[in-house]
């Protein structure tokens, strides 16, 4: 079994040389002389025909009609610009429209937020339009924002259809990346990110609220509402989408690169690359949406974060944070202990996803939001975790491969340590290769949990603790050691067979390797997407 493919892809992509050839073509004027042969008729002289100067290409900027008024973007050179009459945080756009790819690397530049569909608080008498508008974005389109607080929001009942291709991704980014001004540099917090509000369940609502259409949870950022009773809700598709330099806010009121609020399983989220976001790469609040083929690089906070009852699936996830970042995964079950009276009438139970084939690579450095680390589980959460590979050289507290953090749930019978002991948090066929494998327990455990040994818990399920030295050169992209040559902490050969999940759940793809990408996987769509994602970070 080989694990080096991911990083071989990195090496290959960094070695690509993009070359083109071209030059001027000179057309010399000629004169046709038919003084000798008078049979030549209708001869023209290309040398005397004036060459018409190039005309500016007329762009198809986005347009829609609302209440009888037409709103359109305005061409500005090779770009289309949209003022706040077209889109802003004070305007819900209730008309479907198309954003096309522009030639010559042109971009659609928004001066305000882009809110698609009507935001409704049903507790105040409003009703959700279940046939709301659709924002369609063409493969290869680039969308840029000029303000830090501007973001894309898709309301309940509305839809986004953004489907790119490996070589023509749809890109959401900062104005400073596309302004062609050497004096400006794009950075995290340049704009807000993408927020999708769905109608699936969340622990933040009671069963009664969900079943009667009265579930209205306030989203972070500009207040809007999410939640409902349809775990199969369809908010659209994000595929081959790149999100760069997004996210902002303060603790408890933050915008992530992508936020999925109670989004249902009918929504498709796949082939996503997130780079240099300020907060989390993807944060999921409740719902049952699935995520697949995700690359998160150099986020300020966590790569993937979930909370309030998310029960979807995830597979093929790479989180790489070498200069900053916090956990590859940070997870919560919900806001309250589900065993208490307050939790007896929840619309759903606490978070409990299944994740397979993820790689988290970190050098353990302390960044603005915490140490680079593997995974932290807390607050009554559950999860089944298959074929996971965590690598970190960090030795300080906060930089370990794994942390069961019991700040709130303590020794609760529904807390993370009790869930781990009961097999409701469980790693399967996974490898930790970290200088510090486990964080110390936050609050001393009591009762039946007092003797909990996290290392034994992990290894008793067939997982392996592999010395970090086996993976040290992963940080420079030069991993060439195969599992067969590795030793575990006791000096035994490493032999981990990957989980096969597809028979029980068709979402999953069965593979023979541990981690996000196999060594010999170079021609698949996923391998090509990883290679392109790595190139974007260089």
Please state the rounded mean pLDDT for residues 478-498.
62
Q: What is the pLDDT of residue 282?
A: 98
Q: What is the pLDDT of residue 83?
A: 98
Q: Which residue has the tokens 């599992």?
A: 483
Q: What is the pLDDT of residue 417?
A: 97
pLDDT bucket at 471, cuts 50 / 70 / 90:
low
Question: Which tens digit of pLDDT belongs to each residue from 314-373?
Answer: 999 999 888 877 899 999 998 766 666 555 689 999 999 999 999 998 888 787 777 888
Highest mean pLDDT among 66-80, 454-468, 473-487, 514-528: 66-80
Q: What is the pLDDT of residue 494?
A: 74
Question: Which tens digit of pLDDT belongs to each residue from 418-436?
Answer: 999 999 999 999 999 888 9
Please state the rounded mean pLDDT for residues 62-69.
97
Cβ distance 300 to 247 under 8 Å? yes
Please state, in angstroms and as integers, the Cα–Cα distance from residue 341 to each residue in 249, 336, 337, 338, 345, following that order: 33, 10, 9, 8, 8
Q: What is the pLDDT of residue 46?
A: 44
Name every residue whose Cβ is closer than 8 Å to that of residue 309 and which is 6 or more positions away in sequence.
Answer: 201, 202, 203, 204, 286, 287, 333, 334, 346, 347, 348, 349, 350, 351
Q: What is the pLDDT of residue 256?
A: 96
Distance of CA 350 to the CA centre of its chain: 22
pLDDT bucket at 45, cuts 50 / 70 / 90:
very low
Name every residue whose Cβ is closer than 8 Å to that of residue 304 and which is 6 or more positions away in sequence.
Answer: 280, 281, 282, 283, 284, 291, 294, 296, 314, 317, 319, 328, 329, 330
Tally of CB atoms within 10 A around 323: 12
Tally of CB atoms within 10 A around 322: 18
Mean pLDDT value across the chain: 86
Better-predicted residue by pLDDT, 23 or 409? 409
Q: What is the pLDDT of residue 340?
A: 61
pLDDT beyond 60 at 51: no
Q: What is the pLDDT of residue 486?
A: 61
Euclidean distance between CA atoms 347 and 343, whole angstroms: 9
Q: What is the pLDDT of residue 74?
A: 98
Q: What is the pLDDT of residue 18?
A: 25
Out of 82-91, 144-153, 221-230, 355-364, least confident range:
355-364
Question: Which tens digit of pLDDT belongs to each residue from 169-179?
Answer: 999 999 999 99
pLDDT beyond 60 at 272: yes
pLDDT bucket at 32, cuts 50 / 70 / 90:
very low
pLDDT bucket at 488, cuts 50 / 70 / 90:
low
Better-predicted residue by pLDDT, 489 or 280? 280
Euclidean distance between CA atoms 209 and 213, whole angstroms: 6
431, with CB counted inside 10 A (0-12, 13-18, 19+), is buried
Better-predicted residue by pLDDT, 215 or 435? 215
| Of residues 163, 154, 188, the one with CA closest to residue 271 | 163
Q: What is the pLDDT of residue 322?
A: 81
What backbone phi and psi angles, to 5 degrees, belong to 354? -120, 125
Out of 61-65, 166-170, 268-272, 387-391, least confident range:
387-391
């Amino acid at each position: 079994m080989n694990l080096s493919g991911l990083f071989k892809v990195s090496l290959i992509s960094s070695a690509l040389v993009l070359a083109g050839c071209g030059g001027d073509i000179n057309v010399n004027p000629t004169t046709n002389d038919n003084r000798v042969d008078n049979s030549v008729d209708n001869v023209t002289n290309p040398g005397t025909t004036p060459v018409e100067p190039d005309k500016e290409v007329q762009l198809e900027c986005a347009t829609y009609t609302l209440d009888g008024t037409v709103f359109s973007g305005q061409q500005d050179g090779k770009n289309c610009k949209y003022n706040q009459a077209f889109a802003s945080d004070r305007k819900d756009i209730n008309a479907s429209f198309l954003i096309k790819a522009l030639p010559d690397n042109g971009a659609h530049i928004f001066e305000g937020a882009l809110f698609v569909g009507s935001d409704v608080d049903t507790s105040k008498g409003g009703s959700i339009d279940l046939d709301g508008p659709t924002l369609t974005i063409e493969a290869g389109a680039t969308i840029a924002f000029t303000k830090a607080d501007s973001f894309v929001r898709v309301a309940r009942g509305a839809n986004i259809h953004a489907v790119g291709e490996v070589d023509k991704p749809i890109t959401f980014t900062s104005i400073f990346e596309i302004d062609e001004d050497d004096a400006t540099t794009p950075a995290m917090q340049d704009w807000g990110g993408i927020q999708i509000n769905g109608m699936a369940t969340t622990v933040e609502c009671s069963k009664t609220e969900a079943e009667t259409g009265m579930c209205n949870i306030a989203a972070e950022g500009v207040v809007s509402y999410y939640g409902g009773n349809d775990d199969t809700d369809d908010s659209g598709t994000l595929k081959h989408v790149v999100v760069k330099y997004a996210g902002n806010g303060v603790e408890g009121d933050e915008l992530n690169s992508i936020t999925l609020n109670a989004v249902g399983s009918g929504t498709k989220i796949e082939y996503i690359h997130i780079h240099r976001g300020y907060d989390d790469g993807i944060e999921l609040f409740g719902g049952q949406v699935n995520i697949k083929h995700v690359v998160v690089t150099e986020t300020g906070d966590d790569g993937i974060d979930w909370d309030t009852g998310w029960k979807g699936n995830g597979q093929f996830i790479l989180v790489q944070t070498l200069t900053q970042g916090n956990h590859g995964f940070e997870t919560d079950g919900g806001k309250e202990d589900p065993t208490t009276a307050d939790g007896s009438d929840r619309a759903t139970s606490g978070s409990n996803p299944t994740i397979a084939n993820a790689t988290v690579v970190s050098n353990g450095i302390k960044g603005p939001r915490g140490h680079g680390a593997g995974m932290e589980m807390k607050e009554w959460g559950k999860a089944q975790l298959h074929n996971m590979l965590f690598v970190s050289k960090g030795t300080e507290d906060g930089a370990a491969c794994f942390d069961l953090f019991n700040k709130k749930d303590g020794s609760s019978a529904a807390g993370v340590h009790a869930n781990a002991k009961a097999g409701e948090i469980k790693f399967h066929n996974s490898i930790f290769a970290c200088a510090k494998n486990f964080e110390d327990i936050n609050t001393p455990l009591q009762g039946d949990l007092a003797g909990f040994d996290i290392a034994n818990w992990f290894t008793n399920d067939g997982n392996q603790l592999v010395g970090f030295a086996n993976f040290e050169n992963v940080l420079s992209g030069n991993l060439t050691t195969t599992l067969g040559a590795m030793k575990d902490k006791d000096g035994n050969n490493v032999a981990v067979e990957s989980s096969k999940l597809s028979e029980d759940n068709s979402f999953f793809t069965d593979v023979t390797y541990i981690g996000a990408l196999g060594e010999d996987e170079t021609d698949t769509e996923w391998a090509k997407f990883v290679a392109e994602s790595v190139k974007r970070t260089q």
